């Protein structure tokens, strides 16, 4: 990209109009980021602030929960993204079939889980998952799938899967929407021609749909990754990162540190989180630009 500063009259007027908005946004976004980076390299005491280099980061790495947090973050991100994407793509392909009546209605119904506000989603699932009083255990027992209630939220081995399930339910409609849009941009003739040539089922999918959906799929996955990495409210409301830290991910540990007034530790964790997200964000911007 190159800046061409020889603007004509219309262009310079345009820039003048957007300048105040751009400045406000820069102030609201860039200043806080710089402030967090600054906080991650200092130790703020009462009335004094001293530079401590990488000490805050070292403390974060050395904390005995760090390995578990990274492991959880990895499981959470990969689990939610892969499954939400597969489920979303499956739903989109299904809705694209001719034998599905009223695809618009079905799409709207499936979108519901994405549209419900996050706090409501989380609160509803928290009660559904309740050990003694939850609908889920009650239902599974009724149909005889389990004989003992399952500790969805209190079993340290299960709880990560439990919250992943909710996130998949909450984000797959987005993948469905994106892939649906991609599918609709593929001309019907193309697939008809392929059928004439004898391509059917998987072959058609492999040679026609896959290459044409590649770009939109890539963008969808990137957005899902960034969302998952940054998700906070859902896990916080359902488990608060517990029990005993077994569903703690990076974004929750920022708040957890902040809550016990460890502001510099929280800032260091936030910078870490930012750098991880940044990798995917850069990929996203790069890909988005390529598309144009």
Partner 1 sequence: MIKKWLTWTIVLCLVFGLGLKGWTAGKTTISWWVPNWDEPVVRELVAEFEEKNPDIAVKIVITTWDTMANKILLALMSGNTPDLITELESRIKLYAARGLLTNLDPYYAKDLNQDDFISSALELNSYNGSIYGMPFRHDGSGMLYNKDMFRKAGLDPDEFPKTWQEYLEVANKLTIDTDQDGRIDQYGLAWPLGNQANAATRYIQLLYSFGGDILSEDGSRCLLDSEQAIKAMQQLRDTIVKSKVAPRSSMELDNTTLRGLFINQKIAMYVGGQFDIAPIQKEAPDIDLGTAVIPGPGGMGTTTVNGFSLILPQEAKHPEEAWRLIKFVAEPENMARLTDTFPGRKSALELAKFNQELLKPFARQLEKGKSEPSFNDWPEMEKVLYYYLQKVILDEMDVEQAMKSVTVEINKILKN
Separation CA 292–CA 248 (nearest Å): 39
From 160-168, 219-227, 235-243, 273-281, give the range in contact with partner 1 by CB under 8 A. Answer: 235-243
Residue 98 CB, shortest distance to partner 1, in Å, is 46
DSSP code for 206: I
Give the β-pairing of 49-51 and 42-44: antiparallel
Rounded distance, CA 92 to CA 89, Å? 5
Minimum CB–partner distance for residue 104 and partner 1 (Å): 38
Binding of partner 1 at residue 133 (CB under 8 A)? yes
Contact status: 240 vs partner 1 (CB under 8 A): yes
Cα dist from 231 to 34, 69, 72, 171, 282, whole Å: 22, 14, 13, 11, 19
DSSP state of 208: I
Among 262, 276, 281, 283, binds partner 1 (CB under 8 A): 262
Burial 40-63 (b: 16+ CB within 10 A, else e): bbbeeeeeeeeeeeebbbebbeee
- What letter does residue 244 receive in the DSSP assignment? T
Rule CB under 8 A: is residue 154 a binding residue for partner 1?
A: yes
According to the binding rule CB under 8 A, does residue 96 interact with partner 1? no
Query: CB-wise, 133 or 286, nearer to partner 1?
Result: 133
* Near partner 1 by CB under 8 A: residue from 90, 103, 161, 243: 243
When binding is defined by CB under 8 A, the residue of 156, 185, 203, 287 that contacts partner 1 is 156
Name which position in 107, 242, 274, 281 contacts partner 1 (CB under 8 A): 242
Helix axis angle, 159-184 to 103-115, nearest 10°? 140
| Binding track, positions 33-52, relative to partner 1; x by CB under 8 A | -------------xx-----
Provide, rounded to whole angstroms, the least separation between the CB of residue 122 and partner 1. 12
State which of residues 68, 130, 191, 277 lies at the interface with partner 1 (CB under 8 A). Answer: 130
Q: How many residues sit close enough to partner 1 to count as binding (CB under 8 A)?
A: 26
Shortest CB 239 distance to partner 1, Å: 8
CA contacts within 13 A on the Cβ side of 96: 22
In 3-state terms the chain splits into helix, strand, coil percentages (rounded to 5) of 75, 0, 25
* Min CB(240)–partner 1 separation in Å: 7
Contacts of residue 107, defined as CB under 8 A and 6 or more positions apart, other chains included, come to 95, 176, 177, 180
Shortest distance, CB of residue 141 to partner 1, whole angstroms? 8
Quote the strand ranges of the chain, DSSP E.
Answer: 42-44, 49-51
Verify binding: residue 74, partner 1, rule CB under 8 A. no
Provide the binding-site residues for partner 1, judged by CB under 8 A: 46-47, 126, 129-134, 141, 149, 151, 153-154, 156, 239-240, 242-245, 256, 259-262
């Amino acid at each position: 990209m190159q800046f061409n500063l020889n603007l004509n009259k219309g262009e310079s007027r345009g820039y003048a109009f957007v300048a105040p908005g751009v400045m406000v946004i820069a102030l609201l976004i860039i200043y806080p980021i710089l402030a967090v980076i600054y906080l991650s390299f200092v130790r703020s005491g009462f009335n004094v602030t001293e530079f401590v280099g990488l000490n805050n980061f070292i403390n974060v790495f050395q904390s005995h929960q760090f390995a578990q947090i990274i492991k959880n973050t990895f499981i959470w991100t990969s689990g939610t993204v892969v499954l939400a994407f597969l489920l979303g793509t499956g739903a989109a392909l299904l809705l694209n079939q001719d034998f599905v009546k009223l695809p618009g209605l079905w799409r709207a119904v499936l979108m519901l889980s994405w549209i419900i506000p996050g706090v409501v989603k989380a609160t509803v699932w928290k009660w559904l998952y309740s050990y003694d009083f939850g609908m889920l255990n009650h239902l599974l027992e009724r149909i005889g799938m389990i004989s003992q209630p399952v500790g969805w939220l209190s079993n340290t081995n299960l709880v990560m899967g439990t919250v992943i399930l909710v996130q998949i339910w909450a984000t797959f409609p987005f993948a469905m929407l994106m892939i649906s849009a991609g599918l609709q941009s593929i001309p019907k003739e193309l697939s008809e021609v392929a059928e004439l040539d004898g391509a059917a089922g998987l072959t058609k999918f492999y040679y026609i749909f896959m290459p044409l959906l590649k770009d939109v799929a890539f963008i969808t996955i990137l957005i899902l990754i960034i969302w998952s990495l940054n998700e906070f409210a859902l896990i916080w409301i359902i488990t608060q990162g517990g029990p005993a830290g077994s569903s703690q991910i990076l974004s929750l540990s920022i708040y957890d540190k902040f809550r016990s007034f460890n502001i510099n530790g929280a800032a260091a964790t936030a910078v870490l989180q930012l750098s991880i997200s940044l990798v995917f964000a850069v990929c996203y911007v790069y890909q988005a630009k390529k598309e144009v």
